[in-house]
Amino acid sequence: MTPTHEPRPVDASSVTPGEPWGPIETFDQVTSTNDEVRSRPEPWRVVVAERQSGGRGRLGRAWTTTPGTALAVSTLVPLPSSGPSWVPLLAGLAVHRAVTEVAGVVTTLKWPNDVLVPGDDDRKLAGLLCEWTEQGVVVGLGLNVDTPRNDLPLDTATSLRVAGAPGVDRERLLTAYLTHLARLLRDDTGPGGAGPTAYRAACSTLGRAVEVSQPGGVVRSGVATGLDDAGRLTVQTDAATYAVSAGDVMHVRSR
């Protein structure tokens, strides 16, 4: 069902995560929110756009959103003292927590940070793209909020509306995401912290049969057994146990 209200831009004045975040900058259209942040890389900068002419996700994939019905937001977070490796995972956890808090929709995380809705056949609700700079990590989020099923770009995608939560306030959702992200990065970046522990509990990849397509065309099949201290996915194959730092993970369904 298509929303009956007219799409409206995000109201920056209603997004109130507090410190350390800077003012919320809203744009009607940019090439990509990540590129906009990289053009002026200031710590805790937040950029939101309704349209992206060159939006992208992980592994160079295009990411498209419908104006007024999604969140396309990028931030620049300083490098934590424990290093950058857990930032992409904790960003996914921040989305997972914000969605539960504001929309009441149950989600899980597919390593490293795809947000899935298990009640909607594990369709993808949100994805993140993290890019490293000298000033910190650019964290880009694309989240389908009020997008109808027939407006989603892929059959494997979903939205909060499709998952049973129509009309979720985007400002409240963005405020919750930024609040959780800042808290996690402040308190829980180390491998033994509460954030990594919570991430493991929310990650549905762990314990699953997976296929991992890695750079260079290498595909490994096995069981995802855990995460190492750097947040890498450990996969047990017939031959050995591997630590995966980059790649496309597919959950293999049991027959």
Q: Is the pLDDT of residue 189 over 70?
A: no
- In the predicted model, what is the mean pLDDT of the chain? 90
Q: What is the pLDDT of residue 179?
A: 98
Q: Is 81 helix (H, G, I), strand (E, B) or coil?
A: coil
Distance, in Å, from the CA atom of 134 to the CA atom of 115, rounded to the nearest integer, reads 28
Which domains are delineated in the chain? 12-202 (3.30.930.10), 209-251 (2.30.30.100)
Q: What is the pLDDT of residue 134?
A: 92
Residue of 4 and 152 predicted with greater confidence: 152
Residue of 63 and 119 predicted with greater confidence: 119
Distance, in Å, from the CA atom of 47 to the CA atom of 22, rounded to the nearest integer, reads 10
Q: Region 230-251: what's the mean pLDDT? A: 92
Q: Is the pLDDT of residue 155 over 60?
A: yes
| DSSP character at residue 203 | B
pLDDT in tens, 196-215: 999 999 999 999 999 999 87
Q: Region 89-118: what's the mean pLDDT? A: 97
Q: What is the pLDDT of residue 55?
A: 55
pLDDT in tens, 16-42: 999 999 999 999 999 999 999 999 999
Residue type, 12: A
0.75 cut: is pTM over it? yes
In this prediction, residue 62 has a pLDDT band, given cuts at 50, 70 and 90, of low
User: What is the percent of the chain with per-residue pLDDT over 70, rounded to a whole number?
Assistant: 91
Q: Is the pLDDT of residue 61 over 60?
A: no
Q: Which two tokens stand for residue 230?
A: 């750097």
Q: Region 113-130: what's the mean pLDDT? A: 94
Q: Region 130-135: what's the mean pLDDT? A: 94
Nearest CA among 207, 216, 213, 214 for reference residue 236: 207
For residues 53 and 75, the answer to whether their CB atoms sit within 8 Å is no
